[in-house]
Structure 1
Amino acid sequence: MQKDIHPDYMDTEVSCGCGNSFTTRSTVEKLVVEICSACHPFYTGTMKYVDSAGRVEKFQKKYNWGKRKDTAEDETATEADTATE
Structure 2
Amino acid sequence: MRPGIHPESRPVVFRDRAAGVAFLTRSTARSDRTIEWEDGNVHPLIDVEISSASHPFHTGTSRVLDTAGRVERFERRYGRTAPDRH
Which structure's residues are more often strand, by fraction?
Answer: 2
Which structure's residues are more often helix, by fraction?
Answer: 1
Which protein has greater RCO, CA pairs closer than 8 Å, 6+ apart?
2
TM-score (norm 1): 0.47
TM-score (norm 2): 0.47
Larger Rg: 1
